[in-house]
Amino acid sequence: MEFVILSAAAGGAGGSAFFVQLFPLLLIFVVFYFFLIRPQQKRAKAHEAKIAAVQKNDEVVTAGGLMGKVTKVADEYVEVEIAPNVRVKAVKSTIANVQPRNAKAAND
């Protein structure tokens, strides 16, 4: 009977110790959220918006590394001209980057 009373008395003081031990874990989660998770979500939203805004004559790079000019845009697909008179159909979600139409080449 004494053991039950002693453990109940110790349990009341242990409640605050639990929150003290939990605080560093919460702090780590908050730091991870603001430095890793949130910026990644922002980049993903920006990339998604860039892909949704693809238009004809945009220069694109696919995830497979093909570079070309968009000649036709559909809901889920784009037609990309990778060489003169060589056109391929690519899924929009595989576009890795969209170059602005008036961008200069890096070596110019």
Domain extents for the chain? 1-52, 55-99
**What is the number of other CB atoms lying within 10 angstroms of the CB of residue 40?**
10
Please report the pLDDT score of residue 2 as a whole number. 52
Residue 78: exposure state from Cβ atoms within 10 A (0-12, 13-18, ≥19): buried
- Answer for the pair 50, 37: CB distance below 8 angstroms, yes or no: no
Return the residue matching tokens 């874990």: 25
Q: Which residues of 58-69 are buried (b: 16+ CB within 10 A; e: fewer)?
A: bbbebeeeeebb
- Cα distance between residue 69 and residue 90, in whole Å: 12
Please report the pLDDT score of residue 104 as a whole number. 65
10-residue stretch averages of pLDDT, the chain, 108 residues long: 50 73 93 94 94 93 93 95 95 91 63
Please report the pLDDT score of residue 99 as a whole number. 86
Please report the pLDDT score of residue 107 as a whole number. 62
